[in-house]
Amino acid sequence: MGAVVADSGFDFTPGAQVPLLGAAGQTAATNALASAAYRDSPVTVLLDANNEWHKSDVKKGKLSLFEPDLGEAFSRAVRVRMLGGARNALIQSFGTEPQTVVEHCLAAINIRKARDTKLTIIMAVFGLLFLPGLLIWLAVFQLRRTIAGAKDKKSGALGTALLVAVGGLAVIFLIKLPFDGILGIYLRAMVVAPVIGWLWAKQVCESTAKDLRDRWSSLLGGGSVGPKIPEAVPRDPSQSTAEELRQGLARLTAEQQSNSVFYAGPKGILGMGTRWGSWQLAEELSPADPGKEIHGFRSWDVIRAIHDQLRMLERSTLHTNGFPTPSVKHWIVAPVGENAGEVSRPDGQDVDQYQIKTHEIQRICNEQQFGAGNRHYLGVQFTLWDGQLVITMLITVTVLHETLRIEVTGHALGPVHSLFTTKPKAKTVTVSKTVRFWETKERQLPLMETSDVVRLSVRAPFTWFPNVLDFLGGKLSLPEPFGLRHVWAEKPWRHRFMADDALRAATPVLRVVHTAAIKVLEDHGVDTERFSGRSTFLSGMIQDPSPRKADLYDA
């Protein structure tokens, strides 16, 4: 998909800001994903969040001294993937607001950029001017990281001992240096200056780490911290970068609202989850009065009646506060391969801003029921548990020869992986008290260790050359086809109440669908006795409490 330009057919002009349907109360999953942008954990921990179908990867660089942490790698990967000019189509992130996650990634990048600017100045003054000494220290730290990375604990201790030994040699070198004059002063400064620079850099890194952790903790604690990205608002027409960023965010929001989705075989509908249940009502169409013919109708007539009744789901004669207001929407589902590396959205005159137009939806519903082509589904979607659970019931109606088939399928997308909901832990160590040595106390440790300060200082000058930095330190590879929500989603069946909610939603939806469909058949002179009997049978069968793997056809 090419870069977004003014004549691409997408309207980026400001308009009325309409609240998105179902957007309220979806902050838990959004904030959990956004918190990854502020984390200082090793990037490899993200591999623990890989699920059965989608697996991210960490591409190793040439030197471990240049490797990014989780927040750095995540922020850059998400920005490039979701705002890049040549990016492929994205999968909708139901239950979350992907623009908010991207904005937090941009805010985290800005915070680190301000830190890296200071570190670059420090490196220039205390490193570049004393380059030989800096290279010696860096060689020692790289060797220490290589040794400490070994699984053998003795090797890790050896790396620390190596650093201490080099420090001792440096002190001896300063005292016993045989050179005098300018050369002697420079050689001594060559050893000392990088250490002074490290002390200054440590203060800069510690301050930034505290800010990032506060934002991380606030997001998961329900705080009101918001992303700060002033560059997203162009101040004059000449600010092309800001305008491109604004257009990229607008394009992201528009694609999130697209009504086309993709069925990837056993992986289910991307973004909605696998199909855990399927119920089909299929009976012969025969006239209620043998002396008369059936009044003509099409699949769209049945779907439209079902649509109207599903929008009344939250209403009830009993005041039970049961169903929240659902999102009822027509979907066009395209088939893709199970291991497809990318997807492409439909385009042409029947598509407007990623939305397939109503007349095309109606045509597909009535005509594309057999053989090749996309299919139409009517979906009723519930976003529950503050965005952590997304239940989608899909309905499709087909008329082949003299048989009407109404199929209802259940899809469930579980919570984001628990990795994203872990709060930052303070770095402490337990030590004995000075006087009452038999008692212990916890002592607060700095957030940034010596090795972390060195790593960030070395990376700082290269952050203006991201491709070089990716080559030296490695980067995060996101799973494709990519969508922020489904690639890190767990199964809802491990959470008892979430599983109950998914199972409970199926029965009322199925009964509303059957009631609405049978009413249409009666109005068109169809004998509904068999349909009513079959509907009653399905209402009993749906009370089976166990979800199945319907997409694998092994239930």
Three-class SS of 363-419: HHHHHCCCCCCCEEEEEEEEEEHHHCEEEEEEEEEEEECCEEEEEEEEEEECCECHH
Mean pLDDT across 509-525: 87
276 within 8 A of 548, measured Cβ to Cβ: yes
Residue 361: is its pLDDT beyond 90?
yes
Residue 218, exposed/middle/buried by CB under 10 A (0-12, 13-18, 19+)?
middle
* Phi–psi pair at 151, nearest 5 degrees: -75, -25
Q: Let me know if residue 407 belongs to a domain.
A: yes
Tokens, residue 474:
């490695």
Flag whether 56 is in a domain.
Answer: no
pTM confidence score: 0.83
Report yes or no on 323 lying in a domain.
Answer: yes
Identify whether the C-beta of residue 365 lies closer than 8 Å to the C-beta of residue 299.
yes
At 32-45, the pLDDT tens digits run 999 999 999 999 99
Does the pLDDT value for residue 18 go beyond 50? no
pLDDT at 15 over 60: no
Q: What percent of the chain has pLDDT over 70?
A: 79
User: Which of 4-13, 251-260, 346-355, 518-527 shows the lowest mean pLDDT across its residues?
Assistant: 4-13
Q: Encoding tokens for residue 377?
A: 């589904």
| Residue 37 maps to a domain | no
For range 102-117, the mean pLDDT? 94
Domain extent for 381: 259-416+491-552
pLDDT exceeds 70 at position 21: no
Mean pLDDT of the region 101-105: 93
Taking residues 376-389, report their average pLDDT: 92
Query: What is the pLDDT at residue 538?
Result: 66
Residues 170-212: pLDDT tens digits?
555 555 655 565 666 666 666 777 778 788 888 999 999 999 9
Alpha-helical segments (H) within 84-180: 98-126, 131-148, 153-176
Spatial distance between the Cα atoms of 190 and 177, rounded to a whole number of angstroms: 12
Please state which of the ranges 64-68, 215-219, 246-250, 525-529 shows the lowest mean pLDDT: 525-529
- Give the range among 64-73, 115-124, 218-227 with minimum mean pLDDT: 218-227
Question: Is residue 537 a part of any domain in this protein?
Answer: yes
Q: What is the mean pLDDT of residues 354-380?
A: 90
pLDDT band for position 544 (cuts 50, 70, 90): low
List the one residue out of 211, 276, 265 whose CA is nearest residue 410.
276
Percentage of the chain lying above the pLDDT 90 cut: 35
Which helix (H) or strand (E) segment is 200 a member of?
helix 181-220
Structure confidence at residue 555 (pLDDT): 42
Distance, CA of 116 to CA of 458 (rounded, Å):
10
**Domain membership flag for residue 153:** no
Domain assignment present for residue 384? The answer is yes
**Separation CA 187–CA 96 (nearest Å):** 57
3-state DSSP call for residue 453? helix
- DSSP for 419-452 reads GGGPPP---EEEEE-SSSTTSEEEEEPPSS-HHH
**Considering the chain, what is the average pLDDT of its residues?**
81
Contacts for 335 with CB less than 8 Å, ≥ 6 apart: 262, 263, 374
Q: How confident is the model at residue 17 (pLDDT cuts 50, 70, 90)?
A: very low
Q: Which residue type sits at 114?
A: A
pLDDT at position 166 is: 58
537: pLDDT strictly greater than 70: no
For residues 64 and 310, which has the higher predicted lDDT (pLDDT)?
A: 310
* CA angle 393–394–400, rounded 5-degree value: 145
Query: What number is the average pLDDT over the span 263-288?
Result: 86
Residue 178 lies in a domain: no
Mean per-residue pLDDT, 336-363: 89
Per residue in 222-265, pLDDT tens? 776 777 777 666 666 666 778 888 888 889 999 999 999 999 98
Say whether pLDDT at 151 is over 90: no
Q: What is the pLDDT of residues 318-340, one digit of tens each?
A: 666 667 888 999 999 999 988 88
| Total tally of structural domains belonging to the chain | 1
pLDDT digits (tens, 9 = 90+) for 411-470: 999 999 999 999 988 887 777 777 776 677 777 778 888 888 888 988 999 999 999 999
Altogether, the residues listed in the chain come to a count of 555
